[in-house]
Amino acid sequence: MDISKLNKGQKSYKGGIYIFSGRPDPTWQVEEVIAQRLEELWDLLEPLAGECPFAPPLGYRGCFLRCANDHEWLAYDGVVTLKTGGGCESRKDKDRKFEKLLLSSAPKGIFPISF
């Protein structure tokens, strides 16, 4: 099932990190070239056979990429989940390449010093 195709030329890719409790989490604009690279990484990932990892109630709980076409990827602890209007799908990212690339696209200083 190919539910991940980005709308080429769309202008809105938003990255974010789930880290705070009680205040807004940091978000940033993600360049189209990075969003396309993230999709390429997604296409290479194998389907997840088991359960998704549970994030703790406090602290780092993953990062996300949201697109104007209602696609949202959530990366946490070696798993990437894509949510669309048609459902969701999770894949293994053992080396956390998707998560690392997305986090590296954030502007310097956007994360708390302790992160």
Distance CA 10, CA 107 (A): 21
Q: What's the confidence (pLDDT) of residue 114?
A: 66
Question: What DSSP designation does 7 have?
Answer: -
Q: What's the confidence (pLDDT) of residue 17?
A: 96
Q: What's the mean pLDDT when you consider all of the chain?
A: 89
Q: Which residue has the tokens 């993600």?
A: 30
Percent of the chain with pLDDT over 90: 66
Structure tokens at 1: 């099932």
Structure tokens at 80: 């990437």
Global pTM?
0.85
pLDDT tier for residue 56 given thresholds of 50, 70 and 90: confident
Q: What's the confidence (pLDDT) of residue 7?
A: 52
Q: SS3 for 84?
A: strand
Section 36-53 average pLDDT: 93
